[in-house]
Structure 1
Amino acid sequence: MDLKLEVVVVPVTDVDRAKAFYTEQLGFRLDADFPVDDGYRVVQATPPGSECSIIFGDGLSAAAPGTYQGLLLVVTDIVAARAELIGRGVAVSEPFRDVSGVFHRPGETEREPGLHPERASYGSFAAFEDPDGNPWFLQEITQRAPGR
């Protein structure tokens, strides 16, 4: 049985501001914008090259805006991706790595500044937030682990 992650709901306060951020600044493809009725609107956008989309809008989530954790975008060149996002007006952190070399921890604990010394796949990160403060991470993967 295949189980595919298709959509992640991101809580936001201002739908139009979020739509502009995700589609204009980040370059996500706008898939849908359904203003169903007062208090219920569904906007779907997909990152370039991704099979998984995000949905945000009005009346979609009980989560408070800015509280969604664990959003991650995989890139093949974190330096180039970071530069492109900065050029689009997104405030992106300097590259960093976790002291464990495994994954990043929440917040800024146990971060070491700079790219992974060998630019090893899965080892370098950068961070940014959407206008509501939902944290996003870039992770550089140049060669996937076996079976991935």
Structure 2
Amino acid sequence: MDMKLEVIVLPVADVDRAKDFYAERLGFRLDADFTVDDGYRVVQVTPPGSECSIIFGAGVTDAAPGSLRGLHLIVTDIEKAAAELGERGVAVEGPFRDATGVFHHAGTADRVPGAHPDRRSYGSFAAFEDPDGNAWFLQEVTQRAPGR
């Protein structure tokens, strides 16, 4: 049976501020904005090229705003993607790689400035946060590992 990741629920404090950040500043597609009543609003956005969407709003999660960490957006050119986000007014850290060359550590431990020297797929990252502090990574993938 196939199981596809379809939606990630993002905890935010200010729905309109989050909508502006994701739809306007990042350029995510605005799929829906439904206000059902005073305590229930659902906003759905989708990153360009993604089949997985992001939902935030009022009454959609009890997680603390800004508590989500480690979301990854896959890009084919880490330097270009980081530059484009910077041009959109997003503070981006990186590109960087992890000293181990495997993945990245939590937080900023063992970050080495610059993209992977060979631009090895899965080896280069950049990081940014939304206005609430939800932490995102860009990860460069140019050639998928077998079976992915």
Q: Please indicate the TM-score interval, normalised by the length of the shorter structure.
A: over 0.9
Dislocated runs of 4+, deviation >3 Å? none
Q: 2:80 corresponds to which residue? A: 80
By how many angstroms is 1:105 displaced? 1.5
By how many angstroms is 1:5 displaced? 0.3
Q: 2:4 corresponds to which residue? A: 4
By how many angstroms is 1:94 displaced? 2.0
Matched residues in 2 for 1:22 and 1:124: separation? 23
Moved more, 91-100 or 134-143: 91-100
Q: 2:18 corresponds to which residue? A: 18
Unpaired runs of 5+ residues, structure 1, are: none
Matched residues in 2 for 1:140 and 1:134: separation? 20
For residues 1-148 of structure 1, the aligned pairs below 5 Å read 1-148=1-148
Q: Deviations over 1:1-25 (max 9, x none)?
A: 0000000000000000000000011
Matched residues in 2 for 1:8 and 1:84: separation? 23
Matched residues in 1 for 2:107 and 2:70: separation? 11
Give TM-score scaled by structure 2 length: 0.98
The alignment's C-alpha RMSD in Å is: 0.6
Q: Deviations over 1:16-57 (max 9, x none)?
A: 000000001111000000011001100000000000000000
Give TM-score scaled by structure 1 length: 0.98
